[in-house]
Amino acid sequence: MTSSTGSPHMAAASCGPARWPMTIQTRSSGSGRQPCRMRRCGRRSRTGGTWTSWTFSWVPGEDDIKLSDADLRAEVDTFMFEGHDTTTSGISWFLYCIALYPEHQHCCREEVREILGDQDFFQWDDLGKMTYLTMCIKESFCLYPPVPQVYRQLSEPVTFVDGRSLPAGSLISMHIYALHRNSAVWPDPEVFDSLRFSTENASKRHPFAFMPFSAGPRNCIGQQFAMSEMKVVTAMCLLRFEFSLDPSRLPIKMPQLVLRSKNGFHLHLKPLGPGSGK
């Protein structure tokens, strides 16, 4: 974060989704030293017991099922990737949205202030009261889904409503970004409209119209934690800062495994006074 030349009370923040030292491509391809490390972990867990013994233990009654080294590595990748890159992307795009639409930012901030009251910290039950903030987070997910597409391999043949079919083993792509901007599903899909996610409006949509965490039995196992994490982080940010855009450096969408900004996120942060929040 660097000082802005425009005002002593302004700061320019440039933040891109943080990345692990080893790139996603390297983790996916299995290159480098990681497979060797996983093999060593696997041997130690089978012989003397290490953190893998209890971290990846199965539920009672399934002791005959063993995790292979490849399974262990896949689980570790899931913990690191799904719990880090995607949430960072979601928070970054949300902050961009509220900087772009200050009226929504104001409403979110007022709601958070009212909920916090004279407390120093949020309580768990407070997260369920953040109705408008949740609606805005979901709308930012709709416009900028952290994972723009997901892939699935069919375990059995599928026949679609138009009569076309795919055989078992087919690899299919579900383009979440395109779904969320489909005008046949979402009226005015390019407009930031938090009211799409009011209880009344959400109940009228197909349950698979909005799927930032995928859907069905293979959806994101950590979606509830991710939403709670985002509410806490964004609420604390709203209490402390007012966000506005740097019009000279708008984000450039770069869809990869995670929806990133090619040039980062450049926002002006104006610190709010002591009476504006905790």
Cα separation, 210 vs 182, whole angstroms? 11
The residue assigned the tokens 């708008």 is: 250
Q: Which residues pair with 12 in a beta bridge?
A: 2, 268
Q: Is 36 annotated as a binding residue?
A: no
Torsions phi, psi for 88 (to 5 deg)? -60, -40
**Which among 17, 259, 221 is positioned nearest to 141, based on CA atoms?**
259
What residues contact 147, with CB distance under 8 A and at least 6 apart?
86, 176, 212, 214, 257, 258, 259
The residue assigned the tokens 């399974």 is: 71
The residue assigned the tokens 């104006």 is: 270
Give binding residues for heme as ranges.
Answer: 220
Give binding residues as ranges.
Answer: 220
